[in-house]
Amino acid sequence: MKRQRLIVAGNGMAGIRCIEEILKLHRNMFEIVIFGSEPHPNYNRILLSSVLQGEAALDDIVLNSSEWYAKQGITLYTGETVVQINPDLQQVTTDQKRSLSYDKLILATGSSPHILPIPGTDKEGVYGFRTIEDCQAIISMAEHYQKAAVIGAGLLGLEAAVGLRHLGMDVSVVHHSPNIMQKQLDQTASRLLRSELERKGLTFLLEKDTAAITGGSRADGIRFSDSSSIKADLIVMAAGVRPNIQLAASAGLAANRGFIVNQFMQTSKPNVYAVGECAEHNGMVYGLVAPLYEQGKVLAQHICGVPCEGYHGSAQSAALKIAGIDVWSAGKVHEDAGTTSMKLHDEHAGCYKKALFENDRLAGVILFGDTRDKQRLLDSLLKQRDISIVKQQLIEPDQTGISFATMPPTETICQCNSVTKGLIEKAVHTKGLKTVEEVKQCTKASGSCGGCKPLVEDLLEYMASSEYTEPAGQPSFCGCTDLTEDEVIAELHRCHFTDPAEVMNQLGWKMKNGCNVCIPALHYYMELLQPGYIQSPKASAQDTCTLIPQMYGGLTNAKELRNIANIIETYGIPYVSITHGQRLKLSGFHPNDLVNIRKELNMPAFSHQHRRTLRSVLACTCGEDQSIQKLASHIERHADMLPMPDHISISLSCEKDCTTAAIQDIGAIQTQEGWDIYTGGIRGAHARSGMLFCVTDSEENTAIMMKGLLQYYRETAHYAEAVHQWIDRLGIIHIREVLFEQDLRTQLLENLQTDLSLLQNQPVQSGAMKKG
């Protein structure tokens, strides 16, 4: 089949990251053509300031070499710019008079430095700071001239100014506002930062509006609107950027600050997408790398036909990349009528912390001098944790620093590229990596903003020390493959497979048809990770069905029983029995009758061949008010038919009948004061009582804790891992910490409800088959 042609206008970080994601999902789906205005392959524009500061060389910031494009089968045109789009013909034209048709078009045109509309900006010695050529010209100028001026005291301007100072120049920073980095910092943090930078040799000229660049053909200074002036041989414009949206007018694309896109990064024209700094989503244009990579991943999933939630925006965070200065902010930084704040300022230590709250939920953070807890606080910001949790994080930071020994393998080291500790460990062991550069080339950790480079260095140092113990290797998924369970799950996350057969084919299963270990496991993980996936078992003429009509909490009535009796007679169901779970089981009927039987029962029934589920919730019948049965019914309705890692048993009882509840996977015993919840029990010949998980004071809180515990088991247990094995692996203390934190518990309950809603909206499928 002929491949579709995908054209990318722009060879920057956002566009190429999107292409990398597409290649992961469907390597041969597109013929890819990329046009880049610069004469270089893809490089890390964010680290240009690190080149000026002597922290990196130009070769260090290349992300994808020319050989990479060739290896991926990508046609790259460097030094060539798309200048016109014809959406009706689906065709682009470049400044080299080249015309190409497209099936899909991605606009990744980025942005350009905002050059102030003043006289003299065209003089020699005036530069933006956006490209490798800009960086090379500035370094060359510094060898021959002494005085430099940077117009703009935002992140880029300050990083450039420190770079110029590193090159030996006298540097003045000109800024129209009374505060530097006023978009990311409040007055206090701005003042502290200014003092630190002045100690590094920078001079600040604040509340200055530039009127003109003076000099003849070459710039020799700046004149301000108040008639004052300064001398400068080199002038760097760092007064912000403007998205490159010149293509919008001729193509009829909706645009404001950027090309306007929806949650799937689609523009107003069919088959035309935008990503990165040129895209405007919900009125926001993002210039930081993490949001741009998030956009690229969503676009890749959508364009490859992989179901995804779409892009919902990102929390803005900023860190200044200047050695010896720790400053970080995220979210809202300025108070208004709807906010309250919490501030800690230790002038002697040069440490300042501030948290802003809206309705007692974290809305923004500033850290100066001590940024150790930025990741915890960013997590709290994203989850909008309440004031009590954030207060503890501010007042009691992690004084011990980062402990790699206790850090789980799933902990993220590189936020920009979503690289975990475990991924770096695996790369180091399997490929013999020794340096940060080697880790970057292999995993991309530290390859974007560079903020995690010290963390990667520390991890490598720890792994080389005598304190490090190599984690035990995980066994393979099953005998049909050499892949581990985590590796299979990662591939299911990354790619959209339609059925287990495709998984086994694409991942190189040694046994083509799988086995009774991997087939049900693949069904389980696909249903868990791919909303809408439905298993479709095939019946044969010799198959018969077993169905268990649900009676929530063991409660029923005459109408339900009469209906079941009529169904038994109508369809000639030969076997009817009572299960140990206080339910009726109908067995031995033909598969063709199952859909009608379910419809007539008007209640769900176990229907998937390989699915492990919650067995019926057993309820003590000692009481007369049926409160225990009603609670059991509530829990069962919120977990019925959801896929579980393993079959799971739950029991509720009173103090007179406590034995059953104590040996279940999850059990609750009603006491005079409330409820005791147990978990991790084992039934059978080697029965053992579960551990006391918590004590609750009401039926409502009992239901909340039990449902949250169920969902956390669903989200973190391996397939076929029993509850007691799961607890032994994660630890009861860790599980308690998760469930006792309100925000995490609330999120688990929301996830449970979402999964249940998706399942209830699925069409009816064939039932569980048994030979008979």
Whether the CB-CB separation of 7 and 35 falls below 8 Å is answered with: yes
Mean pLDDT of 51-73: 90
One domain for residues 43 and 60:
yes
Going by C-beta distance under 8 Å and a sequence separation of 6 or more, which residues neighbour residue 604? 550, 598, 640, 641
In a domain, 251, yes or no: yes
In a domain, 549, yes or no: no
Please give the Cα distance from 646 to 664 (Å, whole number). Answer: 13
Amino acid 473: pLDDT? 58
In a domain, 741, yes or no: no
Q: What is the pLDDT confidence band of residue 469, given thresholds at 50, 70 and 90? A: confident
Q: In the chain, what percentage of residues exceed pLDDT 90? A: 39
| Domain of residue 231, CATH code | 3.50.50.60
| Whole-Å CA distances, 598 to 88, 225, 712, 719 | 50, 81, 30, 28
pLDDT tens track for 324-347: 899 999 999 999 988 999 999 988
- Please say if the pLDDT value at position 584 is more than 80: no
Tell me which of 348-352, 464-468, 620-624, 672-676 is least confident.
620-624
The SS3 assignment for 242 reads: strand
| Domain of residue 658, CATH code | 3.30.413.10
Number of domains in the chain: 6
Q: What is the pLDDT confidence band of residue 1, given thresholds at 50, 70 and 90? A: low
Q: What is the pLDDT confidence band of residue 541, given thresholds at 50, 70 and 90? A: very low
Amino acid 302: pLDDT? 92
Amino acid 607: pLDDT? 45
Tell me which of 117-131, 323-337, 532-546 is least confident.
532-546
One domain for residues 685 and 704:
yes
More confident residue, 298 or 730: 298
More confident residue, 171 or 47: 171
Amino acid 360: pLDDT? 83
One domain for residues 271 and 233:
no
pLDDT tens track for 2-11: 789 999 999 9
Q: What is the pLDDT confidence band of residue 635, given thresholds at 50, 70 and 90? A: confident
Mean pLDDT of 589-596: 78
Q: What is the pLDDT confidence band of residue 272, given thresholds at 50, 70 and 90? A: very high
Q: What is the pLDDT confidence band of residue 579, given thresholds at 50, 70 and 90? A: low
How far is CA 450 from its chain centroid? 19
The strand ranges marked E within 56-207 are 75-78, 82-86, 91-94, 99-101, 104-107, 111-113, 126-127, 147-151, 170-175, 203-206
Amino acid 609: pLDDT? 46
Helix (H) or strand (E) holding 730: helix 723-730
In a domain, 557, yes or no: no
Tokens standing for residue 694: 């918590």
In a domain, 249, yes or no: yes
Mean pLDDT of 572-596: 76
Q: What is the pLDDT confidence band of residue 664, given thresholds at 50, 70 and 90? A: confident
Mean pLDDT of 435-444: 85
| Whole-Å CA distances, 427 to 155, 461, 474, 486, 567 | 33, 15, 15, 15, 59
Amino acid 768: pLDDT? 32
Tokens standing for residue 567: 């169904």
In a domain, 765, yes or no: no
Q: What is the pLDDT confidence band of residue 606, given thresholds at 50, 70 and 90? A: very low
One domain for residues 669 and 631:
yes
One domain for residues 667 and 704:
yes
- Please say if the pLDDT value at position 218 is more than 70: yes
In a domain, 266, yes or no: yes
Mean pLDDT of 681-686: 70
- Please say if the pLDDT value at position 124 is more than 80: yes
Amino acid 9: pLDDT? 98
Whether the CB-CB separation of 640 and 607 falls below 8 Å is answered with: no
Amino acid 537: pLDDT? 47
Neighbours of 336 (CB within 10 A): 8
pLDDT tens track for 193-206: 999 999 999 999 99
Tell me which of 174-183, 471-480, 585-594 is least confident.
471-480
- Please say if the pLDDT value at position 764 is more than 50: no
Q: Is the dihedral angle over the CA atoms 57, 62, 68, 69 positive or is it negative?
A: negative
In a domain, 41, yes or no: yes
Tell me which of 257-266, 485-494, 674-683 is least confident.
485-494
Please give the Cα distance from 286 to 280 (Å, whole number). Answer: 8
Q: In the chain, what percentage of residues exceed pLDDT 70? A: 88
- Please say if the pLDDT value at position 74 is more than 50: yes
pLDDT tens track for 128-184: 999 999 999 999 999 999 999 999 999 999 999 999 999 999 999 999 999 999 999
User: Average model confidence (pLDDT) for the chain?
Assistant: 84
Mean pLDDT of 511-536: 74
Neighbours of 672 (CB within 10 A): 5
172 phi, psi to nearest 5 deg: -110, 135
Range of the domain at 60: 4-111+244-303
Amino acid 731: pLDDT? 81
Q: What is the pLDDT confidence band of residue 554, given thresholds at 50, 70 and 90? A: low
One domain for residues 725 and 660:
yes
Tokens standing for residue 508: 């190189």
Mean pLDDT of 447-463: 82
Q: Which of 250-254, 420-424, 688-692 has the highest mean pLDDT?
A: 250-254
Whether the CB-CB separation of 680 and 664 falls below 8 Å is answered with: no
Tell me which of 43-47, 178-182, 424-428 is least confident.
424-428
Amino acid 466: pLDDT? 83
One domain for residues 208 and 145:
yes
Kindly report the CA angle at 365 between 359 and 366, in degrees rounded to 5? Answer: 145
Helix (H) or strand (E) holding 274: strand 272-274
Amino acid 694: pLDDT? 87
One domain for residues 8 and 104:
yes
One domain for residues 132 and 203:
yes
Amino acid 399: pLDDT? 46
More confident residue, 395 or 61: 61
One domain for residues 106 and 253:
yes
- Please say if the pLDDT value at position 669 is more than 80: yes
CA-based radius of gyration for the chain: 31
| Pairing mode, strands 170-175 and 203-206 | parallel
Going by C-beta distance under 8 Å and a sequence separation of 6 or more, which residues neighbour residue 242? 111, 112, 113, 114
How far is CA 404 from its chain centroid? 22
How far is CA 575 from its chain centroid? 50
pLDDT tens track for 684-717: 656 677 888 888 888 899 999 999 999 999 888 8
| Whole-Å CA distances, 603 to 256, 404, 534, 552, 615 | 51, 50, 19, 10, 16
Helices then strands (H, E): number in the chain? Answer: 24, 38
Mean pLDDT of 452-466: 85
- Please say if the pLDDT value at position 90 is more than 80: yes
Angle, helix 594-601 to helix 558-570, in steps of 10 degrees: 160
Amino acid 288: pLDDT? 82
Amino acid 763: pLDDT? 44
One domain for residues 93 and 11:
yes
278 phi, psi to nearest 5 deg: -90, -5
The SS3 assignment for 103 reads: coil
Please give the Cα distance from 391 to 728 (Å, whole number). Answer: 32
One domain for residues 106 and 131:
no
Amino acid 120: pLDDT? 95
297 phi, psi to nearest 5 deg: -65, -45
* Helix, strand and coil percent figures for the chain, each rounded to 5: 35, 25, 40
